[in-house]
Amino acid sequence: MKKVHINCDLGEGGEHDEQLMPHISACNIACGGHAGTLETMQHTVDLAMEHGVEIGSHPSYPDKENFGRLSIPMEKEELKRSLVAQIMSLKQIAEAEGAVLTHVKPHGALYNDAFHNAEVAQIIVDAILEFGKELVLYVAEGSVISELAKAKLQLKFEAFADRNYNVNGSLVNRQEPGALITKKEEVLQHLLTMVSNRKITTQKGQKINTFASTFCLHGDTPNSVEILEYLHRELPAKNIEIYKAR
């Protein structure tokens, strides 16, 4: 049976982390930038260990007021220090519990800025390299950060099961209608097209190639539990199962 790697952004103050965790392969844990406290990080790490889920850091611009979804002008060193501190805080908690931090996935505006902004992308890469080359970086295909990081870090290309795309491979802005896919049947079809056909169907119907090996479903989508439980039931009928490290 083919395996699909599903990641989910958790530890962000949502109510459904405990229901989502059993159905995913990897979690990206908010570590104090856009959301998250030492207590929520600890709790989410414990949940991930219980369910055999890979643990990743989900750093962002330090902006809880706007949930990290606005670009924040910052000096290079200031942003790097913030990202290093966020990653370090989660890494220390995970290791204290006997777990391993496996990856880093930037959040929100930081992720989107790194798609096209070389300066921001380089800061993220430099922050991760403070921890060596063991951490895998989740990136969008065709992004500036993927080009900057490919010779320096391990990369895992990511696509979004619950987001619509522009023809250039970027995500439709959340402020635009239809940016988020919330109907479970549409999420399943979007995911199957990417996994089985290696194509992303854009919001306007074009097909673009994808070589993504991890697929994100957002934990803060109101019906995220319903969607994930539906995927968990329906994927085996397509000879696909959700990957688990153990």
pLDDT digits (tens), the chain, 246 positions:
899 999 999 999 988 999 999 999 999 999 999 999 999 999 999 999 999 999 999 999 999 999 999 999 999 999 999 999 999 999 999 999 999 999 999 999 999 999 999 999 999 999 999 999 999 999 999 999 999 999 999 999 999 999 999 998 888 988 899 899 999 999 999 999 999 999 999 999 999 999 999 999 998 888 999 999 999 999 999 999 999 987
Beta strands in 106-185 (DSSP E): 136-140, 154-160
> How far is CA 214 from each of CA 24, 27, 105, 155, 156, rounded to the nearest angstrom?
11, 11, 11, 11, 7
| The pLDDT value given to residue 82 | 98
Which pTM was predicted? 0.95
Structural domain for 75, as ranges: 2-242
Question: Any idea what the Cα angle at residue 178 is, between residues 194 and 27, rounded to 5°?
Answer: 55
Q: How far apart are CA 228 and CA 226, in angstroms?
A: 6
CA 224 to chain centre: 14
C-alpha distances in Å from residue 66, one per residue of 33, 63, 93, 112: 10, 6, 25, 15
pLDDT the model gives residue 225: 96
| Inter-residue contact 28 to 138 (CB < 8 Å) | yes
Identity (one letter) of the amino acid at 163? R
Q: What does the pLDDT read at residue 246?
A: 73
From 196, 207, 206, 201, select the one nearest 181 (Cα to Cα). Answer: 201
Q: What is the pLDDT of residue 245?
A: 81
Reported residue count of the chain is 246
The C-alpha angle 170, 198, 240, rounded to 5 degrees, equals 120
- Residue type (1 letter), 123: I
CATH of residue 181: 3.20.20.370
Q: Looking at the DSSP assignment, which residues form a beta bridge with residue 36?
A: none
The rounded distance, in Å, linking the Cα atoms of 79 and 70 is 14
Number of domains in the chain: 1
The answer to whether the CB of 82 falls within 8 A of the CB of 48 is no
